[in-house]
Amino acid sequence: MEMKNRSAIQDFILVGLSSSPEHQMTIFWVFSFLYTAALAGNFLFILTICTCSKLHTPMYFLLINLSVANVLCISVTIPKTLQITLAHRKTISFSGCIAQVYLFLWALGTENMLLSFMAFDRYSAICHPLQYPVIMRKELCLVVVTGVWVTGMVDSAVHVGLVLRLSFCDSNIINHFFCNLPPLLALSCSDISINETMAYAAAVVLTMGSCVLTLISYMFILAAIFRIRSTEGKKKAFSTCSSHLLVVSFYFSTIIYTYIRPASSYTLEDDKLVAILYSVVTPVLNPLIYSLRNKDVKQGLRKVTDGFLLRPTLP
């Protein structure tokens, strides 16, 4: 009976962002623009860092990984969203839904930990500038980044494994524009207490833990900046971490609102709106923030774009 219930639903119906037909084309073109902008911005950002030797530093190595996680995050959600926006039957297979949950949680968890390690990088650069090459040596960065991706993968696999134990035998309508964990659990006719406990524990350990480590790093950074006597020195020190601080503030606030807030205040409509911010808007904004507020990146971008524009064409 348990296996029968578990296999009773072969696919899910994604409600999307709006059920109004007149809004579908607007949503399609807006999301198409955002997806194109995210892909172009992140790939150009990665290309700039890889081709500009001046940017071959630990911080930009971490930014490459953040861009890869951003591309994974938005590519997991938006293509299917565009399809269901135009389709008459807005379905996703059970296996497709599970794959979407797995890849999305993997990207999300990886981004959390990367942002935390990037804060540690800024702490090392500002508070211990002389020891920075030793602290942030290449071997450490490779080990930490590999560990971040593997930890995100394991965390995602645990949640998906627990979802596969559930039965989905009643409604198959997901009130969301992609298969996210909270709305999927809301459909189960099984006991989801273990799933909720593990989701909350992962949110506390990974998200809140990363957030706390980031805040601690910035407490030391701000203390070091305040000790600098010259105003110009303070501005220069703060400018090296202002872009990351802006991204962290925006990203963690939306993630914590979604996964840490009390269940009594949870609504699927609010979840959809907030999910747009951290799954769609953030991958678009990250390369812009780190590019527009960084002179070295802007110079590298200019070299890359000039190289494309001045490249001779074959006869």
Q: What is the pLDDT of residue 75?
A: 94
Q: 3-class DSSP state for residue 125?
A: helix
pTM of the model: 0.85
Q: Which residues pair with 173 in a beta bridge?
A: 13
Contact 58, 136 (CB under 8 A): yes
Q: Own/partner pairs for 49-55, CB < 8 Å, 24+ apart? A: 49/297, 49/300, 51/300, 51/303, 51/304, 52/296, 52/299, 52/300, 52/303, 52/304, 54/296, 54/299, 54/300, 55/296, 55/297, 55/300
19-42 residues labelled b (16+ CB within 10 A) or e (exposed): eeeeebeebbeebeebbebbbebb
Q: Return the SS3 of 295.
A: helix
How far is it, in rounded angstroms, from Cα 118 to Cα 211? 12
Give me the helices (H) in the chain, please: 2-6, 21-51, 58-86, 94-127, 132-135, 138-164, 181-187, 193-202, 209-227, 231-259, 268-276, 282-292, 295-310
Which contiguous run of DSSP H or E holds residue 14?
Answer: strand 11-14
Report pLDDT for 110: 93
Distance CA 195, CA 240 (A): 40
φ, ψ of residue 13 to 5 degrees: the values are -110, 120
Report the pLDDT value the prediction gives residue 7, as an integer from 0 to 100.
47
d(CA 112, CA 105): 11
3-state SS of 188-204? CCCCCHHHHHHHHHHHH
Please tell me the distance from the alpha carbon of residue 272 to that of residue 34, in angstroms, as a whole number: 16
Q: Which residues contact 7 (CB under 8 A, 6 or more apart)?
A: none
Please, is 86 exposed, middle or buried when counting C-beta atoms within 10 Å of its C-beta (0-12, 13-18, 19+)? Answer: exposed
Contact 177, 16 (CB under 8 A): yes
pLDDT at 223: 84
Establish how many alpha carbons lie within 13 A of residue 12's alpha carbon, considering only the half-sphere containing its beta carbon. Answer: 27
Q: Which CA distances in Å does 69 have to 9, 17, 47, 94? A: 31, 24, 15, 24
Pseudo-torsion of CA 243, 222, 212, 60, nearest 10°? Answer: 40
Name all domains of the chain by residue range, CATH numbers in brackets. Answer: 2-310 (1.20.1070.10)
Q: How many CB atoms lie within 10 A of CB 259?
A: 19
Tens-level pLDDT at each residue, the chain (315 residues)? 344 444 467 788 888 887 777 778 888 899 999 999 999 999 988 998 888 888 888 988 999 999 999 999 999 999 998 988 887 778 888 899 999 999 999 998 898 899 889 889 988 988 888 899 999 999 999 999 999 999 999 999 999 999 998 888 778 888 888 898 888 888 888 888 898 888 888 878 887 788 888 888 888 888 888 777 777 766 766 666 766 677 777 666 766 666 555 555 556 667 777 788 888 888 888 888 777 667 777 777 777 777 655 555 444
